Structure 1
Amino acid sequence: AAFLNSSQDFDTAIAIERRLMTGDLDLLYVAPERLLTERFLGLLDQLSEQHRVALFAIDEAHCVSQWGHDFRPEYMRLGELRRALGVPTIALTATATADVLSEIGTSLGLLSPVTVRGGFARPNLSFSVQPVTSDAARVEKLVELLEEAGLRKSGRAIVYCSTRKKVQSIAEELRSRGFAAGHYHAGRTDLARQRAQKAYEQRRTRVLVATNAFGMGIDYGDVRLVVHAQMPGSLEAYYQEAGRAGRDGMPSACVLLYRAADAAVQRFIIQKGNARNARLMERRMGALEAMSRYAGNATCRQKQLAAHFGDGIDSCKVCDVCLDANSVASVFADAQEEVGAERARKATKTDERSTVQRRPLTPEEIECLIDAVAALHKPVGKVSLAKTLRGSKARQLSRLGLLKNPMHGKLKEVTEFDILDTVEALIREGRLVRKGQKYPTIWLAGRPVRENGRISEGVGSNSSGLAFAKEGERPKRGGKSRMRYTPVFRALDNFRKRQARALGWKSFMVLTNAVIGAIDAEKPATIDALTRIKGFGPSRTARFGEEILRLVAGAKDD
């Protein structure tokens, strides 16, 4: 067996080609970029005429798919080459959804292929998501993880970053902390990359900080820890990269350091790389949303990953969700008690900005968050919203008018990360909406957005498709249906105006048109029925519930 790739000099490549043509090789590994050169296609023609090609094997076959996480245009031509060779074909991938599998078959021209699927469970891997709130906290958490894994003495770790700049800065910081760390990205010269990989292979460095340029074809059994210092753009990419841990079957850890700002980095990368293909950009954005959901969901990590690829498994019992833990120390049994005690000591001394204790918001806190969004005059970024709720008096918040928000400082006891996590959950539930892509902002579902004096029908418009009429306005013919100005609507509209005057609020902060419309449609008769109205939570029920039920009952009798 031999391989051909771009790292070899001309003489080495020629010698391997001679061995191929003389029958000295049973197996040749070659990258599609080399395979599809005019010179190599000529060699294949000769081999094909002599019936000396027995099998065409395509590894990392997900690269065929435009919708896959690692699309490479050269793979698109492999179907044409496969048909020309006319030999049995096998396509292999560890990270393909059902849609990607279908496209692989179509692109390669496989007719009724036999599909063999393995399981996605990796029982020796402990997956976890650990929140960080700043770049400094990210580095401190990474150092802590490397210490827990014993990376100063044994084993290996891979640290993935989204950008070359981040790779460089983190590698330098780790070296300054005494770790034998190398770095690898596509911007380095071929020689520099070869040296970095060789040093890692020979264990002269135990930590390799890299972009996704490092990994394809990499197989080191004793990688004890894979850390994603920044969130990747898809679950497919994450699973493939994290899966490089523990290939010898020994307990190993896969950790995602999650910061809300990392999603913005990925959005920029997606927009920059797919500016001319709106459909592909939409798919990439959808993949990013799935990745964000994985980070925020309190469901077994491996169960989430397996479900994404169409595989159903039981809870893994070893991830942070299953163990209800924020440390990978349990993976390394010999250090478990010592590390746990040290983390407990640090937790009493470390500022909240670098150590975040996650907990779900209470229903009352969620209503407070929604009330804060309802009080906005225009959409704002979710980080600004979180800082407002926590009581920050930053100059930027003052410029946005957020210091006057009635909910300013109401969630001082809640961490910024928990607020951001809840915002994402509310977006998924449809109670909040995200507006814009380059600079995403948050808005209340069902509330129109005023832009230059006009109501926008974009992301912030009412998700039900209803356009609300002004008081007394009759429905217009054609176009969207308009909400009927019924006795119930009139009664609740007058009610919210009275309450708004008494509380010093805007009317929509009491009840939005969407909520009034839902109450009008359902006409609830009990508190329990009222709480099931979308957008009408516990705090509004406690404050306005009984009065609203009386108004609805009275209006129905009119």
Structure 2
Amino acid sequence: MRTFDRGIYKTSKEALKAVFGYDSFRPGQESVINAVLEGRDILAVMPTGAGKSLCYQVPAMLLSGITLVISPLISLMQDQVNALNEAGVDAAFINSSLSEKELNDTFKNAYKGHYKIIYVAPERLMSEGFISFAKSIEISMITVDEAHCISQWGQDFRPSYMDIAEFINILGKRPIISAFTATATQNVREDIICSLGLNDPYFLVTGFDRENLFFQVDKPQNKERFILDYIERHRGESGIIYCATRKNVDSLYTLLRKQNISVARYHAGMSNEERKQMQDDFVFDYTSIVIATNAFGMGIDKSNVRFVIHYNMPSSMENYYQEAGRAGRDGLNSECILLFSPQDIIINRFLLEHKDFSDIDPIDAMTIRDRDIKRLQIMEGYCYTTECLRNYILKYFGEDPKKPCDDCGNCLRQFETLDMTDEAKKIINCIYESRERYGKNIIMDTVLGAKTARLAEIGASKYKSYGVLESSNKNLLRRLIEELLLEGYILTGEYQVLKLGDISRLKNTDTKVMVKITDEDKVTNRKLKPKKNINGMDSLTSAGFKLFDKLKELRLEIARAEKIPPYIVFNDKTLIDMCAKMPTTKSDMLNVSGVGENKYGKYGERFIEVIKGFQL
């Protein structure tokens, strides 16, 4: 078996500074790294942008053998390997994109000890050639990225992840096992530990909060107009617009193109060549906006996405937080906006009803279907809640925030609170009279006294509750029903049928059902609220902003010459730090966050030259 020399770095902090150019670790990183270096297994749940990659890349520099990283997406592997090679770390990937010759060359270089980190697709693990290769090298650590994929209760279950435990057993000598994910509920975490066979793992949840992200739910009458206006206000910024269907992607793409907006699109109905070209255009900053289904983005490490807009409501909080989390990976202020309409619920129910369970045991399929329906209801609650949006997300993932964030769409919005106790009792009476057989639309139409063939067919037009709220409006009643669901007075059963919950509290005359009503005309102007200076932009002078633009031009020039994404040269946060510190010597430049020895050697002097020229 080939063995490898221990890395040239004596400590994790030395490797962090020399390779990656950072002076200190982010919260949670150092404790995970120390646990790895002590030989412990790891399960770390850290939000997107919290620096999970460094938690296994830094110790890989210090461990004697190879770190094998199991990753589900080809584009993610390529991004990570490009970034490591740029930082001076020898790394490679093994997946279906390699030719036979490229694969053999990778194996040969690995045998010679050229690599410290190798990324591999889970589908490759159990192949005869890879098993033979893995047994003949020293593997110090196996890292499982996107570890929630191993759980059937996670949002991206991949059957190939189930081979990981068997692969580890085949190796003979068991390496350290580290697992990382951004979104995992308690059930999923327990499943990861059990499925991977983690031995007394060091367990870390750094918290799911992304302070630099602003969350907002809007219910515009015209979503297309909203998006056009938003893009006009955010010219030059990079963003992702997610749609639930290919049809919506194509329609919105055509609309923006007609408005001469540079935009890409991405969905499974396009050819592999088209998708790759569109993705590259976005990643390499040839286009600033991409419109896509949820097939896009999981493997994209683009750090300067300033906004993520969901044209339709996602089917679960896990999916939403993962997709929204692609904004602001560099830690700079970014926006996550969900455009909601009741039609979104219909679309998601249709997609769930047609979900493919052919490869899953029927009993498990039934459990997963019930889970999916519950997740959709939670996502619907997010769109209707008048409470703090950030707290709603954090509570779902098991956290217990003590106060509102004061910096989300709901916290900055003014509400009118109405006492709707009487209306609530009439809704409940209608559900009782219907024998709990119908959904919210039938119930609302009944109390509103709607004259429809469906109500006549089921006999609802003869109910005592028919028309008792005819002077109300449907939007108001929809908000009331959501409030009743949130407080447990009513429940949803199979097929979204409304059922009675705990209504005993309403017998107390002191109990009130208070409903907050959104008034879009009373939205607080968010620009007037002082923002936390997370990104450092607030400290730049007008001259600093001009230098920032100059440095971005140089970065783009280098990126296109090197055929790598601009953020792999230097991310926006590093350029901002250059503008603030104005380095003119090597030692000054190495003091800039994100500038390591290798990157200085490749690019440092060129950036110093621009900075010196700007000062003249």
* TM-based fold match above 0.5: yes
3-state DSSP of counterpart to 1:196: helix
Q: Is the 8 A contact 1:182 1:200 kept in 2?
A: yes
How far, CA to CA, are the matches of 1:260 and 1:218 in structure 2?
A: 30
Q: 1:30 aligns with which of 100, 116, 120?
A: 120
* Higher mean C-alpha deviation, range 85-94 or range 276-285: 276-285
Shift of 1:207: 1.6
Shift of 1:213: 1.9
- 2:148 aligned with 1:89: no
Q: Is the 8 A contact 2:266 2:296 kept in 1?
A: yes
How far, CA to CA, are the matches of 2:239 and 2:195 in structure 1?
A: 36
* Higher mean C-alpha deviation, range 60-69 or range 30-39: 30-39
- 2:129 aligned with 1:39: yes
Report 1:383-462 matches (<5 A): 383-386=441-444, 407-408=466-467, 410=469, 414=473, 416=475, 418-437=476-495, 440-443=496-499, 445=500
| 1:502-539 deviation per Cα after TM superposition (whole angstroms, max 9, x unaligned) | xxxxxxxxxxxxx8xx69xxxxxxxx964268xx989x
How far, CA to CA, are the matches of 1:39 and 1:379 in structure 2?
A: 58
Q: Is the 8 A contact 1:365 1:411 kept in 2?
A: no
| 1:320-358 deviation per Cα after TM superposition (whole angstroms, max 9, x unaligned) | 121116xxxxxxxxxxxxxxxxxxxxxxxxxxxxxxx99
Shift of 1:158: 0.9
Change (3 A) 1:144 1:389: farther
Report 1:94-113 matches (<5 A): 94-113=182-201
TM-score if structure 1 supplies the norm length?
Answer: 0.66
Shift of 1:141: 2.8
Q: 2:413 aligns with which of 324, 328, 333?
A: 324
3-state DSSP of counterpart to 1:304: helix
Report 1:274-289 matches (<5 A): 274=357, 276=362, 277-289=365-377
How far, CA to CA, are the matches of 1:310 and 1:284 in structure 2?
A: 18
| 1:134-156 deviation per Cα after TM superposition (whole angstroms, max 9, x unaligned) | xxx333333333333x1xx3121
Shift of 1:84: 3.2
Change (3 A) 1:420 1:156: same
Q: Is the 8 A contact 2:420 2:513 kept in 1?
A: no
- 2:337 aligned with 1:255: yes
Shift of 1:407: 4.8
Report 1:116-155 matches (<5 A): 116-132=204-220, 137-148=222-233, 150=234, 153-155=235-237
* Higher mean C-alpha deviation, range 235-244 or range 279-288: 279-288
> Which of these two proteins has the greater Rg computed from alpha carbons?
1
Supply the RMSD in Å over aligned alpha carbons: 3.2
- Match for residue 159 of structure 2? 73
Identical counterparts, % of pairs: 33
How far, CA to CA, are the matches of 2:436 and 2:319 in structure 1?
A: 35
How far, CA to CA, are the matches of 1:226 and 1:320 in structure 2?
A: 15
Give aligned pairs, total: 414
Question: Which ranges in structure 2 are unaligned for 5 or more consecutive residues?
Answer: 1-90, 515-616
Equivalent residue letter for 2:498 = I
How far, CA to CA, are the matches of 1:358 and 1:188 in structure 2?
A: 46
Shift of 1:103: 0.9
Shift of 1:419: 2.6
Change (3 A) 1:214 1:20: farther
Change (3 A) 1:14 1:193: farther
Change (3 A) 1:116 1:87: same
How far, CA to CA, are the matches of 1:390 and 1:176 in structure 2?
A: 42
Equivalent residue letter for 1:2 = A
Q: Is the 8 A contact 2:249 2:293 kept in 1?
A: yes
* Higher mean C-alpha deviation, range 241-250 or range 124-133: 124-133
3-state DSSP of counterpart to 2:189: helix
Structure with higher RCO (Cα < 8 A, 6+ apart): 2
Q: Is the 8 A contact 1:274 1:281 kept in 2?
A: no
Q: 2:290 aligns with which of 196, 202, 208?
A: 208
Change (3 A) 1:33 1:358: farther
Shift of 1:197: 0.6
| 1:205-249 deviation per Cα after TM superposition (whole angstroms, max 9, x unaligned) | 222122222222322222111112222222122111111111222
Q: 2:148 aligns with which of 55, 62, 66?
A: 62
Change (3 A) 1:375 1:312: closer
How far, CA to CA, are the matches of 1:361 and 1:261 in structure 2?
A: 28
Q: 1:364 aligns with which of 416, 422, 425?
A: 422
Equivalent residue letter for 2:113 = G
TM-score if structure 2 supplies the norm length?
Answer: 0.60
3-state DSSP of counterpart to 1:92: strand
| 1:296-327 deviation per Cα after TM superposition (whole angstroms, max 9, x unaligned) | 222212222222222333432210121116xx
Q: Is the 8 A contact 1:260 1:420 kept in 2?
A: no
How far, CA to CA, are the matches of 1:185 and 1:296 in structure 2?
A: 28
How far, CA to CA, are the matches of 2:490 and 2:421 in structure 1?
A: 15
